[in-house]
Amino acid sequence: MADLLTANKNDNVTLVDALDKVLEKGVVINGDIMIRVADVDLVYLGLRLILTSVSKAEELSGKSFSNPDKEFTPDDIAYIQKLQREIKKAEENIPKLIDLGSPKKTEQGLAQLVLTLLELIRKLMEKEAFRRVKRGSLSQAEVQKLGLSLKAVKKKIQEVQAIFGIKDEDLNLDLGPLGNLM
Amino acid sequence: MDGLYLYCIREKTDTPCFSTKGIDEKEEVFVIPFRELEAVVSKVSFEEFASEEIQKKAREDLNWIKEKAIAHEKVIEEAMRKDDKVLSLIPMRFGTIFKERAGLEETLNKDYLKIREVLDRIRGKQEWSVKVYLKEREKFEQVIKDKNETIKEKEKEIASLPEGLAFFMEEELKEIIAKEINKELNNFAEDIFERLKDFSFDLAKGKLLEKELTGKEKPMVLNVSCLILEDRIEDFKKGVEALDQGINTKGFYLEHSGPWPVYNFSVY
């Protein structure tokens, strides 16, 4: 009978189905002990507090003092070229790292957490940048710089992802009742 | 002191012997008769299960939860089968323990009418699971992109911009596409759900399970439990297999499993 779970169901039975049902469904009647499972709300509460303060800060900083007609300076051009090189380097590097096929599994958990937070900050910055670009208060040169900077950061994050073998969808946290972080 | 772990309630049988061990993997599983019903239970150490340690494990130790939930399910699986037949029974949620037999009997007595009602309702029916996964996101994405003019125009615009500017547009477009995909996914899932109604006496939509839990690479897009009349099981199987073939071309696949204890249709 040890294999009841698999033996009796010829159709693609998975462990998951069992867990899904046993832990979530079925009749609840009051015994002397009801063991509660998946009671993880408290962990998420702490995270939620951090998150609200970040988005508040983002909301408050919306001002721009730039001049829309500002020209590209030689410094701007040098900076833009540097960013473009960085992006290219990262783009070339990523497939190589993936081909290497030996992601550093051991540090994966930590890397995932750190990258998730980086990705969150990156997305918040991107949102703020978007807002300013849409407002039309930035010069072409500034928009170009901003866009390339954000792209460079994004590519760098992707590069580190490749090193540790972390997929895009792993860069998230399940906040239970609050849904996903991103 | 011994407590009693309750797995399920069923109508009295003439085979009250179990080969599966109880939740602690040591104690025998046995039945406690009550009128024409019987409660399937095993002894557990009350002190052990009431201890801080176990309570903590039940909240935090996923492996422990997994192991115990499986043990729970296995007992019910055995309880619901007699020869080739599937018996109607009421499965309990994980973790119900009584301090003593008297407490359990009192509960059965108090809930007797409700239990009767559920058993009558589920007689001759089985619970089956249907889960739909998105197999090829690219395929589905392409279908959506192809029929969306806004997206096509944006793509053209982006191609003519310098890299830094294009970045913003690209990110914006990605969001538009993601939203569109979500919308279409919902429509798709809703459509499958409607079609399952044709075979089912009753349906219950479940949570979409995370990939960490399903252990599958592909995301789940629909999770349904169906209550099916016994004589329609074959129709149901043929129906979902046809459905699976139909959705394959759109980048999806479907899995079905059963019969399960009627976890989703026995609440009282």
| Residue B22 contacts residue B75 (beta carbons within 8 Å) | yes
pLDDT tier at A63 (50, 70, 90 boundaries)? very low
Top pLDDT among B267 and A37 is at B267
pLDDT in tens, A10-27: 333 456 677 778 777 888
Residues of A whose CB is below 8 A from B73? 5, 18, 21-22
Residue of A17, A146, A151 for testing the chain B interface, max B β-carbons within 10 Å? A17
Q: What is the pLDDT of residue B263?
A: 93
pLDDT in tens, B81-98: 888 889 999 999 888 999
ipTM for the whole complex: 0.75
User: Which DSSP category does A180 fall into?
Assistant: B
Q: What is the pLDDT of residue A56?
A: 41
**How far off is chain B from A116, nearest CA to CA, in Å?**
16
pLDDT tier at A70 (50, 70, 90 boundaries)? low
Q: What is the pLDDT of residue A7?
A: 37
What is the mean predicted confidence (pLDDT) over B35-52?
A: 91
- Beta strands at B37-45 and B202-205: parallel, antiparallel or unpaired: unpaired
Q: What is the pLDDT of residue B215?
A: 67
pLDDT in tens, B140-169: 888 888 888 888 888 898 988 888 888 888
**Residues B49, B56: Cα–Cα separation, whole Å:** 10
Top pLDDT among B10 and A180 is at B10
Q: Is the pLDDT of residue B233 over 90?
A: yes
Q: Is the pLDDT of residue A59 over 50?
A: no
User: Which DSSP category does A70 fall into?
Assistant: P
Q: Which of residues 100-139 of A touch B (CB under 8 A)?
A: 126, 129-130, 133
Query: What DSSP string runs through chain B?
Result: -EEEEEEEEEE--S-----SB-TTSSSBEEEEEETTEEEEEEEEEHHHHHSHHHHHHHHH-HHHHHHHHHHHHHHHHHHTEETTEE--EEEBPTTEEESSHHHHHHHHHHHHHHHHHHHHHHTTEEEEEEEEEE--HHHHHHHHHHT-HHHHHHHHHHHTS-HHHHHHHHHHHHHHHHHHHHHHHHHHHHHHHHHHTTT-SEEEE-PPPPHHHH--SSPEEEEEEEEEEGGGHHHHHHHHHHHHHHHHTTTEEEEEEEEEP-TTS---
* Partner residue opposite B163 with nearest CB, options A12, A15, A148: A148
pLDDT in tens, B98-116: 999 999 999 999 999 999 9
| Residue A66 contacts residue A142 (beta carbons within 8 Å) | yes
What is the mean predicted confidence (pLDDT) over A85-104?
A: 74
Q: Is the pLDDT of residue A99 over 80?
A: no
Q: What is the pLDDT of residue A5?
A: 43
pLDDT in tens, A112-139: 888 888 888 888 888 888 878 888 778 8
Q: What is the pLDDT of residue B193?
A: 97
pLDDT tier at A44 (50, 70, 90 boundaries)? very low
The domains of chain B are located at: 2-123, 127-260
Top pLDDT among A102 and B25 is at B25
pLDDT in tens, B57-83: 777 676 777 788 889 999 999 999 888
B45 at A interface, C-beta within 8 A: no
User: Is the whole-model pTM more than 0.80?
Assistant: no
Mean pLDDT across chain A: 69
**Residues B47, B69: Cα–Cα separation, whole Å:** 20
Q: Which of residues 119-138 of B touch A (CB under 8 A)?
A: 129, 131
Q: Is the pLDDT of residue B138 over 80?
A: yes
Q: What is the pLDDT of residue A14?
A: 57
What is the mean predicted confidence (pLDDT) over B217-229?
A: 93
What is the mean predicted confidence (pLDDT) over A151-156?
A: 88
Question: Which residue in A23, A28, A27, A48 sits closest to A38, CA to CA?
Answer: A23
